[in-house]
Amino acid sequence: MHSFNREQRLLVAWGLLCVGASVLLAAYGRHGMAEPELQVRWGIAVEYVRFMGLGLAAMVVIRRVGMAESRAMWPERLLALGTILFSGTVGMESIAPEADWVTKFGMAAPLGGVLMAGSWLAFVFEFIRNQRPSPS
């Protein structure tokens, strides 16, 4: 059985926390927001929190079980940061669409999206290049 190091445990825990929190966040959007347009926007943010949380946990497990341990976990770190930037910004825009600070953080959502997509691409390339040798 493979054990996780401290960073791996933290990232898996963060991913699973995102999945669990997405249930509560979705309920808030459905029952706590009156405007349908804001519910849709909030739902997008929650959906990304949920699926990127699952993806983060999967990345860590795949790395631990199937990849050589030679590299830092940059794709996982970028996925976590991208999810926070994207979902956080879209979620804040849903809660306070008229707030002045919304325009100041306007580029955080696209940057977060680029980081999420880039993290998946980096992980795929790293996965292909760094397969763990199969036991003989």
Does residue 17 form part of some domain? Answer: yes
Q: Which two tokens stand for residue 91?
A: 């979620």
Does residue 11 form part of some domain? Answer: yes
Does residue 61 form part of some domain? Answer: yes
- What domain range includes position 62? 6-129
Domain count, the chain: 1
Tell me phi and psi for residue 67, to 5 degrees: -125, 155
Does residue 77 form part of some domain? Answer: yes
- C-alpha to C-alpha distance for 118 and 120, rounded to whole angstroms: 5
Segment 4-58, tens digit of pLDDT: 889 999 999 999 999 999 999 999 998 988 899 999 999 999 999 999 999 999 9
Segment 75-118, tens digit of pLDDT: 999 999 999 999 999 999 888 888 777 778 778 999 999 999 99
- Say if residue 1's pLDDT is above 60: no
Does residue 136 form part of some domain? Answer: no
Q: What is the mean pLDDT of residues 66-73?
A: 75
Q: Which two tokens stand for residue 90?
A: 């879209």
Confidence of residue 70 (pLDDT cuts 50, 70, 90): low
Does residue 1 form part of some domain? Answer: no
Return the pLDDT at 15: 96
Return the pLDDT at 64: 87
Does residue 135 form part of some domain? Answer: no
> What distance lies between CA 52 and its chain's CA centroid?
4
